[in-house]
Amino acid sequence: MFRETLELLLSLRTEVAVVGSASSGHEAVELCARLEPDVVLVDYRMPGMNGAETTRAVLAAAPGASVICLTASVAADEIEELRAAGAVACITKDQELDRLVSAVCEAAA
């Protein structure tokens, strides 16, 4: 439900274009290999792979992409793991949509 709501909210913004949506890490990697997006939003906790595993696989499949991880928690070890995997930013899910859109625009630039 969170993913679908976020996709809807982002699709209403003129600054970003939603080109795909995945329900698992494996599906995200497949989509990224095919669609070659500029920015990928990855949830830290998702079916199949965690956020760091998904980030590494996404960057291998779509090397030109930037990955932003969304997380419910702000555990320092998780954030460090995500950064080491190549995520350019980690944003908690309780942030305002404007903050997320700004992060996506920065990552795309």
pLDDT in tens, 42-71: 988 888 898 899 999 999 999 999 999 988
Class of domain 23-108: alpha beta
What pLDDT is stored for residue 69 in this prediction? 92
Structure letter (DSSP) for residue 86: T
Decide if pLDDT at 100 tops 90: no
Looking at mean pLDDT, say which of 36-40, 42-46, 89-93 comes out highest.
36-40
71, 53 in Cβ contact below 8 A?
no
Helix (H, G, I), strand (E, B) or coil at 14: coil
Q: How confident is the model at residue 34 (pLDDT cuts 50, 70, 90)?
A: very high
Distance CA 84, CA 56 (A): 9
What are φ and ψ of residue 84, in 5° steps?
-65, -30
- What is the domain partition of the chain in residue ranges? 23-108
